[in-house]
Amino acid sequence: MTGVGGGEAPALQGAASGHNGGAGRRILLRPAVPLLVLLPSLVLLPLLAILPFLAHGGGLDLLGQFALAAVTPSLDPLVLRSALTGLATTVGMALLGWAASLVLGLLLGLLLLLGLRRLGLLGLRRGYVALRLAARDILDLL
């Protein structure tokens, strides 16, 4: 469609020439909705301008001590006793969980075996063979 002013549509003519053509509409620029989440992060800009001048080197010695302690651990008896106590607690809980899972698996396996036998889905001889094999496998693990 060719208009009077040189080939543009009337709405585009007004926008290109800088006036709104008497329609009384303004073009509002708004940020996209996902960008509104980033709006509170604008408070970091003044902080980034101020903080480099407020920093001092007083904590660098403490940071160095921390890094040195990470590569050369303390051999203090209290620290070693605490570490060994924590290790013993962890190993004990792991063994208890392992034993509980073995007992629970054995009980649930027996219930399943008995339930299948009652339903007639498993012969008596095959059930006992499966039970013996399961018990042997559990004893092999111990």
**Confidence label for 95 from pLDDT (cuts 50, 70 and 90):** very high
The average confidence (pLDDT) of the chain is: 78
Q: What confidence tens digit (pLDDT) does each residue in 131-141 have?
A: 777 777 777 77
Q: Rounded to whole angstroms, how far apart are CA atoms 25 and 48?
A: 39
The separation between CA 48 and the C-alpha centre of its own chain, rounded to angstroms, equals 29
The separation between CA 136 and the C-alpha centre of its own chain, rounded to angstroms, equals 41
Q: What confidence tens digit (pLDDT) does each residue in 111-124 have?
A: 877 776 666 655 55
Predicted local confidence at residue 3, as pLDDT: 47
pTM, whole model, 2 decimals?
Answer: 0.38
Q: What confidence tens digit (pLDDT) does each residue in 14-43 have?
A: 444 555 555 667 888 887 888 888 888 888
State which amino acid sits at residue 91: V
Predicted local confidence at residue 47, as pLDDT: 87
Whether the Cβ atoms of residue 10 and residue 25 lie closer than 8 Å to each other? no
Whether the Cβ atoms of residue 106 and residue 134 lie closer than 8 Å to each other? yes
With a cut of 70, say whether residue 128 has pLDDT above it. no
Mean per-residue pLDDT, 65-79: 89
**Confidence label for 108 from pLDDT (cuts 50, 70 and 90):** confident
With a cut of 50, say whether residue 55 has pLDDT above it. yes
Quick check: helix, strand or coil at residue 22? Answer: coil
CA dihedral defined by 78, 81, 83, 87, rounded to 10 degrees?
A: -170
- Show the tokens assigned to 9: 């549509």
3-state DSSP helix/strand/coil % of the chain, to nearest 5: 75, 0, 25
With a cut of 70, say whether residue 62 has pLDDT above it. yes
Whether the Cβ atoms of residue 113 and residue 122 lie closer than 8 Å to each other? yes
Q: Rounded to whole angstroms, how far apart are CA atoms 142 and 140?
A: 5
